[in-house]
Each structure stands twice: as structure tokens, then as C-alpha cells.
Amino acid sequence: MEDNSWDEAEYNFFSSLSSEDKLYYIYDIITNEYDDFDDNDSASIDITITDTHIIVSCEMVNISKKFISSFFMDGMILQFQKQNNTSIFYKIVGTTESMSVN
């Protein structure tokens, strides 16, 4: 089984980023994972963050769920509220310490 976890240096780098930069970084990681899709299968991801909610919209729901998992790893406590077609809505409950990915 291949170990795809981050090494300590990469995790520390990620932890030092601002929230917006973390989104860009995770987006780059996810889009690189899906390089084998045809151009017609490219996924566009829209993320809306308000004071109370995170809304992730993508035609490929599995990619949206990978984005959400990164928020959990960064210590956000989120409560699933609903899925509306290609959008997933989470309520921001709070934050805690970041989880180690190693």
C-alpha cells in the first residue's frame, strides 16, 4: 500500500498558510490528482465562506468532499446541513487544534 501522507515539512508549511492560501494549495493538490481526466471532465470548484457557513460547489461531488476533509484536518468543526444538487452546505460550529496527517 502506498503512503500518500504528508511529511512533516509539508504539513508545517501548510499549517503556516492563511485560510485563503490553504484553499489554493488544496485546490492544486486535488486538481493534480485528477490529471487523467479528459479536458471535458475538468471540475470547477467554487467555495463560499461566510461567518456561519462553508458552501462547496462542484459538479463532481467526490472532489467537494475532499475539499471539506481538508477543513476538518485544519481543525474546523463543521456540521453537514444539506446537499443541493452540486452544492454541499456545512455550518461552521467552531475550531480545534489541527490534526496531524501523519
pLDDT for 88 equals 93
Nearest to 22 by CA among 73, 63, 58, 61: 73
Domains and CATH numbers, the chain: 8-95 (3.90.1070)
Q: DSSP states of 25-38 as a string? A: HHHHHHHHHTTTS-
pLDDT in tens, 9-58: 777 777 888 887 777 777 766 666 544 444 444 678 888 988 899 999 98
What's this model's pTM, rounded to 2 decimal places? 0.55
pLDDT at 34: 44
